[in-house]
Structure 1
Amino acid sequence: MTAVKAPVEGFSGVVANVEFVDGVGETSDPTALSYFRRHGYGVDESAKAPRPTAKKTAAKPSPK
């Protein structure tokens, strides 16, 4: 996977079917990587993108 940095710091959302969290996404899709290069995204083929951690929530007890 290739790390991709959004040109807008802290951006979270989806661009070219790649999910960005806090300005960072990852993909191995050559078409998406080409798009990102053309549009000013930082593409670092040597860096592994950090994976977002899932927030854990306490399970609610079920009503009886």
Structure 2
Amino acid sequence: MAKIYTPVKGFTGNVAGVDFVNGEAETDDPRALAYFERHGYKVESGKRPRAKTEAVE
């Protein structure tokens, strides 16, 4: 799940169907994420980097 931060610090309310509390929210909705990216919101991907694995022979 991606975490979104509003450009207006501390905003609480609904934008693009996503509820924000104190300027933060989470969603996986691709349309909402695209909207936030287009409108200057900070979007952090919820995916964590995978650990590198070594090949076992």
Structure-2-length-normalised TM-score: 0.78
Q: Note the C-alpha offset of 1:46.
A: 3.8
Q: How many residues align?
A: 47
Structure-1-length-normalised TM-score: 0.70
CA distance in 1, matches of 2:7, 2:37: 11
Structure 2 counterpart of 1:34, which letter? Answer: A
Please tell me the root mean square deviation across aligned C-alpha atoms, in Å: 1.2
Percent sequence identity is 53
Q: Which runs of 5+ in 2 are unaligned?
A: 48-57
Q: Which runs of 5+ in 1 are unaligned?
A: 48-64
